[in-house]
A and B are shown apart, each in its own frame.
Chain A
């Protein structure tokens, strides 16, 4: 199994550009989420989804949009990139349950100039 796949691994954007970070999982997980991690910091939750068609905001949702049209995919959209969005982004997924463990992707390193 591929697990959680994130693309691209690296991306450089100019201020104001838009882009979509892709996240796909092949484990039929209901729950998917996006985190950002700034240097020396922990993980901060951006958005999450508990199933197809259902999304909700996390701690730091401003500047990001998400949608969940299928169980497998959970893309993260930056509509107008800003330097403050320079970060490493991680996608995670799991079955829905309090005792279910999260699986993380390998991350996307994004730089906004």
Chain B
């Protein structure tokens, strides 16, 4: 069963911030939250990941709820090049009952960016 739930699609205007939500209500204490994105006709690429604290990198920010049952990927200024499918997954190789290598991606959120 999928461990994360994401909206099927979202729209954004160019140069505006985008908040992509992900619910993971059954997350365990050792699950890391990872985000990947897939541009059209390409393989997925890593965006960001975190455990408990909010994280920032050059691509995006990750806001993690205090109870860790949800997270939000934030693109601060969407560009046309950010139009992609965004996947939120949980990765746990250490915890009891963790995903080990069985990483479930699901369908992700298709982000459209309007000029």
A98: Cβ under 8 A from any B Cβ: yes
Using Cβ atoms and an 8 Å threshold, which residues of chain A touch B105? 35, 42-45
The answer to whether A56 and B42 touch (CB under 8 A), given A96-B93, A99-B49, A101-B34, is no
The reply to whether A98 and B104 contact each other, CB–CB distance below 8 Å, is: no
User: A98-B32, A101-B34, A106-B42 in contact; A56/B101 too (CB < 8 A)?
Assistant: yes
Contact-residue size bin, chain A (C-beta under 8 Å from the other chain) = 20 to 34
Q: Which of B60-68, B73-81, B84-92 contacts A (4 or more CB under 8 A)?
A: B84-92
Known contacts: A50-B101, A98-B30. The answer to whether A90 contacts B43 by CB under 8 A is yes
Q: With A and B bound together, what is the CA distance between A27 and B114 in angstroms?
A: 38
B-contacting residues, A18-74, CB 8 Å? 31, 33, 35, 41-45, 48-50, 56, 58-59
Please count the residue pairs between chain A and chain B whose beta carbons lie under 8 angstroms apart in the complex: 68
| Measured CA separation A41–B51 after assembly (Å) | 27
Known contacts: A50-B101, A98-B30. The answer to whether A104 contacts B49 by CB under 8 A is no
Which residues of B have CB within 8 Å of A41?
107
Interface centre among B93, B100, B106 (most CB of A within 10 A): B93
Q: Are B93 and A104 in contact (CB under 8 A)?
A: no
Chain B residue at minimal CB-CB distance from A44? B105
A95 to chain B, nearest CB (A): 10
Q: A104: nearest residue on chain B (CB-CB)?
A: B43
Are B102 and A56 touching (Cβ within 8 A)?
yes
A105 adjacent to B101 (CB under 8 Å): no
| Known contacts A43-B87, A96-B93, A102-B44; A58/B108 CB under 8 A | no
B103 at the interface (CB under 8 A from A): yes
Quote the shortest CB–CB distance from B52 to chain A (angstroms).
12
> Smallest distance from the beta carbon of B6 to chain A beta carbons, Å?
10
Contacting residues, chain B, for A42 (C-beta < 8 A) = 85, 87, 105-108
Contacts of A105 in B (CB 8 A): 43
Which residues of A from 82 to 96 have beta carbons under 8 Å from B? 90, 92, 96
Q: Which residue of A lies closest to B42 (CB)?
A: A106
